[in-house]
Structure 1
Amino acid sequence: MIKCWGEIEMTVANCLTLIRILLLPFFLFFFFYDFSNHYLIAAIIFTLSALTDLFDGYIARKFDQITSLGKILDPLADKLTFIIVFTALAIDGFIPFILIVFILVRELVVLCGSMYMYYRSKDIISPSNTGKGATFLLYITAVSYIWDLSFLQPAAFIAIGLALLSGVRYCIEGYNKYFVGHNIKK
């Protein structure tokens, strides 16, 4: 673990999360810049991004690299990835517009709520298995549309259901923890 910029802890897991964020502009460039195989290159970049998400969590848990920065950066990277990738898919007509509306609203509500709770109490709500399952299936959904794997596209419906459940869970747990429990710093 390397300390840099004061108290920020840069671990291998945090570096992988940063790589995931840094891959987003490259995904967008190759997704929208029209040349031979541009969707294929964008799909490869997105797949690499998904793998960094898988490995950063595994490394953080396996090698005790869970940090305050990682608890903020990893969900932020997830939100940015889904908002950007699914918006790109909707713009180019790969996915139905209603899917992107749902994903955008859900991701923005959870992101804004998490930011507010962290700002007020320096605490976050831990991801649930439902949320992790939704994240995994959202990656599968995006990959299925980018790689044109139609047999996987029904995963979108399960992902939406799990994302909705986890979003409701975040709202309820956040309300109970930060408003009912009066844990908010004044």
Structure 2
Amino acid sequence: MNEHSGDTPIPWRVWTVPNLVTMLRLVGIPVFCWLLLVADEYVAGAIVLAVGGGTDFVDGYLARRLGQESRFGRLIDPLVDRLYILVAVAALTLEGLLPWQFTAALLAREAVMFVTLLLLRWRGYPPLSVHYVGKTATFIVFMSFPALVLAGLPIDPPMWAQPLGWALAWWGIVLYWLSAALYVGQAVWMTRPGQRGEMVAQ
């Protein structure tokens, strides 16, 4: 969720429509884990993932459309996105639907971003502004997971699920690393003498 233009400060408000959407997405994370790891309901789990990932843009759109942008929303929205990806990757890896190489590549990218943001915070800089490449990469990675879950059905998995899932997964991870490079470059630029900006990276 972006800041208002100008110098008007963004209020810290929790009970807004876009924040409610974000909270509902957050509730979907344990529901997905239960469906996949406990109940073995792959189709239902894929639906929860698709809804959780497909509504990634909804909360930000509603915040701008309704004039309900908030500091809480700017904090919780990228956090939920990151939790969705990390939890989904962990669950799919445990179920044998993702190879460890893919998981390692994604976790390494997260480690790079964590260190970058930690160093910026330590030096007193604000968080990084979200880049459209990062949002696009997050969405594509999200959308690969439901297809990969369906590809793991023990009986009659859809023929399209595996090729589509892996096409999205590898395309998404490449963009994910590209966005990390852009964020690191942005951080380096920000820390140059006389440069200050605003950033929450995706």
TM-score range, shorter chain: 0.7 to 0.9
Q: What are the superposed Cα offsets for residues 116-174 of structure 1, whole Å, 9 maximum, x if unpaired? A: 64576473212112111101110121122012212312122211111011011111212
CA deviation map 1:21-53 (0-9, x unaligned): 221111111110145xx1122112212212332
| Matched AA of 1:73 | I
Contact 2:137 2:176 in 1 (8 A): yes
- Cα distance in 2 for residues equivalent to 1:115 and 1:8: 25
What TM-score, normalized to structure 2?
0.76
TM-score, normalization by structure 1: 0.82
Q: 2:8: which partner in 1?
A: none
For residue 140 of structure 2, what is the amino acid of its counterpart? L
Structure 2 residue runs without a partner (length 5+): 1-10, 152-160, 198-202
1:11 equivalent in alignment to 2:24 = no
Write the distance in 1 (CA, Å) between the matches of 2:33 and 2:134: 25
Alignment of 1:43-82 (within 5 A): 43-82=46-85
Question: Which residue of structure 2 lines up, in the alignment, with residue 97 of structure 1?
Answer: 100
Supply the distance in 2 between the matched residues of 1:146 and 1:26 (Cα, whole angstroms).
Answer: 15
Q: Identity, % of aligned pairs?
A: 27
Query: Which one of the candidate residues 16, 27, 33 is aligned to 1:22?
Result: 27
Partner of 1:32: 37
Greater RCO between the two (CA within 8 Å, min separation 6)? 2
User: Does 2:180 align with 1:167?
Assistant: yes
Q: Is the 8 A contact 1:83 1:107 kept in 2?
A: no
The C-alpha deviation readout for 1:48-68, integer Å capped at 9, x for no partner, is 212332311221222232222
